[in-house]
Structure 1
Amino acid sequence: MGRIICISNQKGGVGKTTTAINLSASLASAERRTLLVDMDPQGNAGSGLGLKRDDLHGTVYEALLNGRPMKELLHPTELRYLQVVPATPDLTGAEVELVGQERREFRLRDALRPLAAEYDYIIIDCPPSLGLLTLNALAAADSVLIPLQCEYYALEGLSQLTHTIDLVKQGLNPDLTMEGILLTMFDARANIAHQVVDEVRGYFKKQVFEVVVPRNVRLSECPSFGKPIILYDIKSKGCESYLALGRELMKRDTPKAPRRRVA
């Protein structure tokens, strides 16, 4: 069974979609069968992988509201091991339309269940809010990865998100765990960036990923070309950081060999 990881932070501009795209690409480059599901109505995860809205043959909206099989909504990318289920602004209305539906918080979980065994990783890009779309992602996921920018007010809203995660564990998904906090947009020249890193590591300790994603021009450019950073500039610092994140994640998932007993 593949692992389902949702990437969530209700604050915008923290590198959430950038992380969803480039972590997925990093895992796919390591020949891990990866599916990226876009639950953000902005639809940037799909466009960031080169999908054109006019060429889409289906979106996640159809799985959530119409029960269309997720397998019919898969779109290929330039990376052999990476597929994406895109979103469009139509998904904005799903928040209201889902309210009166049965199993409204479990629509995504139900849609992904038939696909779980076909992938090593399913990455979900959440919207920058804590509404029904994000609740669907949290109810479907095994774990949550939280991007946190190394800037002033970085921790603002984090307590609300962790509280929501606790509520989801109590009522919707008792097996949900914290995958970790990813520090993003690190500027080594700024004192505040170092302060945020120290504060977050001091408080959350091992829940923080070792890799820190730097503020990087090439990383900010690649979405406009419809490419993940690994296909846009593999030698950039941004690419190095997301490849390292992929390795760190895969290392966590590698079973440790049992110790040999010494006679």
Structure 2
Amino acid sequence: MQVVSISSLKGGVGKTSVTTGLASAALAAGIPTLVVDLDPHADASTALGVRPDEQLDIGRMLKSPRRARLADNVVPSGWVEHSASSKGTAASVLDVAIGSAYTGIYDRPDLGRRDLRRLSAVLAGAGQYELVLIDCPPSLNGLTRMAWSASDKVALVAEPGLFSVAGTERTMRAIQLFRQEFAPGLSPAGIVANRVRTGSSEHTFRLAEMQSMFGELLLTPHIPEQANWQQIQGAAHSVHHWPGDSAKNAAALFDTLLGNLMGAGGTGELAAAGMVRNRSQR
């Protein structure tokens, strides 16, 4: 099982869109996947079309993690029905640990080691999944650090803009510091350039800057700005089951990105360490 946190220091860069795009690719590939919606806004839960009954949301599971019974409280994504009907086969697994505002009580900068292990304890019951995607809030407070404690890898989402690139560099530094103190097994999976406008000279410049700064940590392919993405999410559909060439092209990009993300490993960690060191010497 691989546990990957999808993080960003800056809001509005499409972090949840990347999470759901990767979840869509995993569903299409038949990879048993759990999405943990750790953002108090719970946008991933909405986009994934969950219909909770009596299940506990992730915030209440975190409150009593050793009694959480994850398997009893996850909710199948509404996407699963579309996937099964389009293929005419048995449904693949895409479950959701439902987000809620309740998680906000843990989004503090002063969480101790015991609190940082809460999500790890909940995910001890996630052995039936091959992939766990954690949609983090856009901050480096307690919830993101809790997610990092439970993760094998961190994928960062950034737009090719000045503030987003600067925020990504700061987040890379934070990952290295967090790894040294709390999570020696954690490594950066890479950086996803999202909402890229191919005709923008600013975006072209910033992508080249990101390549220079982050090297092989800048994952490919880059995800272009998609005009109908909000429509897809608002309809609670996966991009793989949305009609039209634009959605089909986006789905293919997420298929490739998922493969590259799951294959990222130790060399990326070394590159990240070198990047932080080199930048600090300038």
Query: Which residue of the partner structure matches residue 256 of structure 1?
Result: none
The 3-state SS of whatever aligns with 2:223 is strand
Q: Is the 8 A contact 2:32 2:93 kept in 1?
A: yes
How far apart are 1:22 and its partner, in Å?
1.2
Query: Which residue of the partner structure matches residue 43 of structure 1?
Result: 42
Of 228-237 and 144-153, more deviation after overlay is shown by: 228-237
State yes or no: 1:86 paired with 2:85. Answer: no
State yes or no: 1:242 paired with 2:254. Answer: yes
Query: Which residue of the partner structure matches residue 69 of structure 2?
Result: 69
State yes or no: 1:110 paired with 2:133. Answer: no
The 3-state SS of whatever aligns with 1:10 is coil
The 3-state SS of whatever aligns with 1:6 is strand
Q: TM-score under structure 2 normalisation?
A: 0.82
Which one-letter code corresponds to 2:20 in the other structure?
A: I
The 3-state SS of whatever aligns with 1:147 is strand
How far apart are 1:71 and its partner, in Å?
1.8
- Provide the C-alpha distance between the structure 1 equivalents of 2:128 and 2:244, rounded to a whole number of angstroms: 28
How far apart are 1:15 and its partner, in Å?
1.2
Q: Report % sequence identity.
A: 23
How far apart are 1:252 and its partner, in Å?
5.0
Which one-letter code corresponds to 2:238 in the other structure?
A: P
Q: Cα distance 1:142–1:102, how it changes in 2: closer, same or farther (>3 A)?
A: closer
How far apart are 1:239 and its partner, in Å?
2.3
Provide, for residues 47-79 of structure 1, a one-character-per-residue CA deviation record: whole Å limited to 9, x for no partner: 001125x64622101121123222222111222
**Partner of residue 59 from structure 1, selected from 53, 57, 60:** 57
Structure 1, gaps ≥5 residues long: 254-263
What is the correspondence of 1:105-184 to structure 2 with a 5 Å cutoff?
105-115=116-126, 117-184=127-194
The 3-state SS of whatever aligns with 1:153 is helix
Which one-letter code corresponds to 2:177 in the other structure?
A: L
How far apart are 1:88 and its partner, in Å?
1.2
- Provide the C-alpha distance between the structure 1 equivalents of 2:165 and 2:180, rounded to a whole number of angstroms: 24
How far apart are 1:251 and its partner, in Å?
5.1
- Provide the C-alpha distance between the structure 2 equivalents of 1:22 and 1:166, rounded to a whole number of angstroms: 27
Q: TM-score under structure 1 normalisation?
A: 0.88
State yes or no: 1:216 paired with 2:203. Answer: no
What is the correspondence of 1:7-22 to structure 2 with a 5 Å cutoff?
7-22=6-21
The 3-state SS of whatever aligns with 1:216 is coil
Query: Which residue of the partner structure matches residue 197 of structure 1?
Result: 207
- Provide the C-alpha distance between the structure 1 equivalents of 2:262 and 2:111, rounded to a whole number of angstroms: 39
Q: Cα distance 1:100–1:252, how it changes in 2: closer, same or farther (>3 A)?
A: closer
Q: Cα distance 1:113–1:202, how it changes in 2: closer, same or farther (>3 A)?
A: same
- Provide the C-alpha distance between the structure 1 equivalents of 2:244 and 2:118, rounded to a whole number of angstroms: 37
How far apart are 1:36 and its partner, in Å?
0.5
Provide, for residues 224-263 of structure 1, a one-character-per-residue CA deviation record: whole Å limited to 9, x for no partner: 111221122463233232122123335558xxxxxxxxxx
The 3-state SS of whatever aligns with 2:228 is helix
How far apart are 1:95 and its partner, in Å?
3.0
Q: Is the 8 A contact 2:50 2:96 kept in 1?
A: no
Q: Cα distance 1:171–1:88, how it changes in 2: closer, same or farther (>3 A)?
A: same
- Alignment: residue pair count: 249
- Provide the C-alpha distance between the structure 1 equivalents of 2:133 and 2:258, rounded to a whole number of angstroms: 12
- Provide the C-alpha distance between the structure 1 equivalents of 2:7 and 2:237, rounded to a whole number of angstroms: 22
Of 122-131 and 227-236, more deviation after overlay is shown by: 227-236
- Provide the C-alpha distance between the structure 2 equivalents of 1:30 and 1:224, rounded to a whole number of angstroms: 23
Two-structure CA RMSD over aligned residues (Å): 2.1
Provide, for residues 182-212 of structure 1, a one-character-per-residue CA deviation record: whole Å limited to 9, x for no partner: 1111101110111111111122111111201
Which one-letter code corresponds to 1:70 in the other structure?
A: L
The 3-state SS of whatever aligns with 2:219 is strand
